[in-house]
């Protein structure tokens, strides 16, 4: 649990504590959308700067981790779409170059691409979960809280926590298996 | 074949238990394999992420700079 007053206030030391506490989970998401360690650091900094700017939008009526992860995933997905659009433009340019005899960069091995794509799909899919499923999945899986802690943070019983997580995983599975966009 | 309860899959997927029976089931079940992938991706199984103090300090500097800009804008009314 965080202290919303101190967070809204933008107190730097408290903000650093928040980065220490929630940073590892954020880095997992960021890594899925980055191409190098430098990209991870850049995107990570971009996100926490954005979180600082948006801090007053956190209403304090739900788990902070859920609000934070919405900001993180929205930003990562839009960053990824932008990069993909740029890359597509570049690939088209390179394809034209290849057609004219310019050497193009070799593609990564297929298996590696599949795993990376699957990992990204999981994070992108998370964005589509309804609030309760999203909160339960974030708190249990990303933040690693026990089912009891999740139940306390969300103000629902453990059976509801379990069913929210199961429904969330089922939805993500359909996205992973390509049955749902 | 009955799939295990989600919580059992989570505990296994986060690397917090050995469960040979579940492991054998997962080999033959596409749904559980997909769930396990999701659990390990979100839970970060197999990779510990850390945030360096240097990165936190650099972020504090950036935020400090921005806070000053916002403060200056508020004061100047621009």
State the pLDDT at residue A14: 93
* pLDDT above 90 (res B44): no
Residue A97 tokens read as: 């170059």
* pLDDT above 90 (res A168): yes
For residues B9-37, give the mean pLDDT: 93
The shortest CB-CB distance from B42 to any of A53, A141, A147 is to: A141
Q: How confident is the model at residue A128 (pLDDT cuts 50, 70, 90)?
A: very high
State the pLDDT at residue A116: 85
**Cα angle vertex A149, ends B49, A119, to 5°?**
35
* pLDDT above 50 (res A101): yes
Residue A98 tokens read as: 């290849």
* pLDDT above 80 (res A94): no
For residues A140-165, give the mean pLDDT: 96
The shortest CB-CB distance from B60 to any of A16, A141, A172 is to: A16
For residues A46-73, give the mean pLDDT: 95
Q: Which of A38, A140, A142 to mutate to test the interface with B (most CBs of B within 10 A)?
A: A140
Phi, psi of A103 (to 5 degrees): -70, 135
Task: Give contacts of B47 with chain A, Cβ < 8 Å.
Answer: 28
Is there a contact between A12 and B64 if contact means CB atoms under 8 Å apart? yes
Please give the C-alpha separations between residue A138 and each of A54, A73, A88, A165, A171, in angstroms, as whole numbers. 20, 11, 32, 9, 14
Task: Give contacts of A24 with chain B, Cβ < 8 Å.
Answer: 44, 48-51
State the pLDDT at residue B74: 60
Is there a contact between B49 and A28 if contact means CB atoms under 8 Å apart? yes
For residues B4-31, give the mean pLDDT: 93
Residue B12 tokens read as: 């296994």
Task: Give contacts of A119 with chain B, Cβ < 8 Å.
Answer: 41
Q: Look at residues A168, A159, A165 and name the one whose alpha carbon lies nearest to residue A140.
A: A165
The shortest CB-CB distance from B50 to any of A10, A24, A169 is to: A24
Q: How confident is the model at residue A107 (pLDDT cuts 50, 70, 90)?
A: very low
CA dist., res. A74 & res. A162, Å (int): 25
Instruction: Based on DSSP, count helices (H) and strands (E) in chain A, helices before strands.
Output: 8, 0
The mean pLDDT value of chain B amounts to 85
Is there a contact between A15 and B63 if contact means CB atoms under 8 Å apart? yes
Q: Look at residues A33, A30, A53 and name the one whose alpha carbon lies nearest to residue A41.
A: A30
The shortest CB-CB distance from A45 to any of B5, B43, B59 is to: B59
Q: Looking at A53-57, A71-75, B68-72, which range is the least confident one? A: B68-72
Predicted model pTM: 0.82
Q: Where are the alpha helices (DSSP H) in A33-157?
A: 37-53, 64-99, 110-126, 131-137, 147-154
**Greater confidence, B11 or A94?**
B11
State the pLDDT at residue A92: 76
Q: Is the Cα torsion angle A63, A165, A124, A110 positive or negative in sign?
A: positive
Is there a contact between A122 and B49 if contact means CB atoms under 8 Å apart? no
Q: Looking at A89-98, A126-135, A150-159, B1-10, which range is the least confident one? A: A89-98
- Least Cα separation, residue A8 to chain B (angstroms): 13
* pLDDT above 90 (res A160): yes
State the pLDDT at residue B72: 57
* pLDDT above 70 (res A106): no
- Within 13 A of A18's CA, how many CA atoms are on the CB side? 25
* Neighbour-count burial of A39, counting CB atoms closer than 10 A to its CB (0-12 exposed, 13-18 middle, 19+ buried): middle
Task: Give contacts of B65 with chain A, Cβ < 8 Å.
Answer: none
CA dist., res. B24 & res. B46, Å (int): 20
Q: Look at residues A7, A29, A30 and name the one whose alpha carbon lies nearest to residue A18.
A: A7
ipTM reported for the complex, 2 dp:
0.81
Nearest residue of B to residue A32, measured between CA atoms:
B41
- Least Cα separation, residue A45 to chain B (angstroms): 6
Please give the C-alpha separations between residue A58 and each of A15, A63, A81, A117, B4, in angstroms, as whole numbers. 14, 10, 25, 31, 37
């Amino acid at each position: 649990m965080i202290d919303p007053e101190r967070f809204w206030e933008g107190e730097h030391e408290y903000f650093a504590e928040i980065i220490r506490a929630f940073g590892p989970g954020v880095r997992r998401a960021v890594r899925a959308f980055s191409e190098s360690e430098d990209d991870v650091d850049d995107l990570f900094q971009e996100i926490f700067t954005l979180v600082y700017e948006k801090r007053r939008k956190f209403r304090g009526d739900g788990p902070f981790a859920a609000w934070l992860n919405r900001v993180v995933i929205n930003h990562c997905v839009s960053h990824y779409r932008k990069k993909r659009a740029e890359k597509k433009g570049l690939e088209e340019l390179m394809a034209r170059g290849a057609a004219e005899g310019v050497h193009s960069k070799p593609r990564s091995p297929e298996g590696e691409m599949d795993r990376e794509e699957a990992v990204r799909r999981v994070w992108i899919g998370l964005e589509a979960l309804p609030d309760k499923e999203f909160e339960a999945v974030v708190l249990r899986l990303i933040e690693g809280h026990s089912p009891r802690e999740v139940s306390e943070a969300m103000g629902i019983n453990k059976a509801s926590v379990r069913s929210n997580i199961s429904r969330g995983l089922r939805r993500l599975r359909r996205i992973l298996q390509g049955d749902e966009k | 074949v009955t799939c295990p309860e989600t919580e059992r899959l989570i505990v296994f997927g986060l690397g917090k238990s050995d469960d040979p029976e579940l492991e054998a089931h997962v080999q033959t079940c596409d749904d559980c394999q997909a769930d396990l992938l999701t659990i390990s991706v979100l839970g970060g199984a197999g990779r510990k992420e850390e945030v360096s103090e240097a990165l936190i300090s650099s972020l504090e500097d950036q935020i400090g700079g921005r806070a000053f800009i916002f403060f200056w804008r508020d004061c100047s009314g621009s």
